[in-house]
Amino acid sequence: MADFWQQVVAGLASGSIYASLALALVLIHRATGVINFAQGEMATFSTYIAWALTTNYGWSYWPAFAVTLLASFAGGVAIHQGIIRPNEKGSVLRVVIVTIGLLLALNGLVTLIWSGEVRAMQSPFPTRTIDIAGVAISIQDIGTIGVVLATVVALWALFQYTKVGLAMRAAAVNPAEARLVGVRVTWMLSLGWGLAAVLGAISGMLAAPSLFLDPNLMAALLIYAFAAAVLGGIDSPIGAVVGGLTLGVGLNLIGAYVDFVGADLRLPAALAVILVVLLVKPSGIFGKSEVKRV
């Protein structure tokens, strides 16, 4: 029985990491209507910045963390203003191609600057494990779930209770009308990209201590993050968290107890989840169904 709970705990740990990246995807989609294929690579790049600051330049963790978040925010805004905005007026395809180009360029840039070698990343949390009835629970994983939940609360507060949040929602849902009431739509979209970049950076810095840092850190996670976001509802931060945790635990249990699936079909299983959800309830568990106006 302890084995079952161990798989559940392991699943919650992986799931919280999926959730953290899913939050970035959800934020970008909610704020700008775009699916950003480069989200993972942006997060990887940010994590490498944090790594370089702490390892190569000997900074201590929290100042490096803060600077990384600032740099990521600036980067996200710059990317939106410089690369995405000029392509927004065209078809959706142009934006997709541009985010793909960004994915390639960032992934290559990370390898070019820091090489493909595996690195260790410091964790903000102690690495101790506590043992409860034969199940090992790591403080780091509890910390990760804590940060993810805190982020969800912060996002929710932002969108529900602040003027900026309201402006961002307006800019995403109906840019033309938002402009009429004085919302600076372009800057709201850039703000969305900046915040999503920050969330991505946080996700990377949560993942790297246990998954270890190499250029493909987030690439492997991106699919799971998409699955989590779709499962929970691509516009819902709470959905991203519920989706991520459910996915993590679900995949672990299926992989452990259903022999047909095993380890090699974990990824297709996650993708089957995406497909089934998209077909049965495209708006996900917590999403609102889109009503198309004719």
Instruction: Map the footprint of another protein across residues 118-157, applying CB under 8 A.
Output: 118-120, 127, 129, 131, 136, 138
CA pair distance 225, 213, nearest whole angstrom:
18
Q: Please, which residue, 95 or 242, has the CB nearer to another protein?
A: 95
Nearest CA to 106 among 16, 219, 250? 219
- Looking at the chain, list the stretches that DSSP marks H as alpha helix, in order from N- to C-terminal side: 2-32, 39-51, 61-79, 85-88, 92-114, 139-161, 163-173, 175-180, 185-211, 217-232, 237-257, 266-280
3-state secondary structure of 129: strand
Q: Please, which residue, 109 or 166, has the CB nearer to another protein?
A: 109
Minimum distance from residue 62 beta carbon to another protein (Å): 20
3-state secondary structure of 119: strand
Among 104, 150, 154, 173, binds another protein (CB under 8 A): 104
Q: Is 259 in the site for another protein (CB under 8 A)?
A: no
Minimum distance from residue 55 beta carbon to another protein (Å): 12
Q: Is 116 in the site for another protein (CB under 8 A)?
A: yes
Number of residues that bind another protein (CB under 8 A): 80
Among 22, 26, 31, 103, binds another protein (CB under 8 A): 103
Residue partners of 288: CB distance under 8 A and separation at least 6: 233, 235
Element housing 131 (H / E):
strand 129-132
Among 224, 242, 243, 244, binds another protein (CB under 8 A): 224
Give 112: exposed, middle or buried? Use CB within 10 Å, 0-12, 13-18, 19+. Answer: exposed
Minimum distance from residue 184 beta carbon to another protein (Å): 24
- The torsion of the CA quartet 67, 71, 74, 78, rounded to 10 degrees, works out to 170
Q: Is 64 in the site for another protein (CB under 8 A)?
A: no
Which parts of 8-47 interact with another protein (CB under 8 A)?
Answer: 10-11, 13-14, 17, 34-35
Q: Is 235 in the site for another protein (CB under 8 A)?
A: no
Tokens of 248: 């993590």
Which parts of 260-279 interact with another protein (CB under 8 A)?
Answer: 262-268, 271-272, 274-275, 278-279
Q: Is 252 in the site for another protein (CB under 8 A)?
A: yes
Q: Please, which residue, 180 or 263, has the CB nearer to another protein?
A: 263
Minimum distance from residue 152 beta carbon to another protein (Å): 21
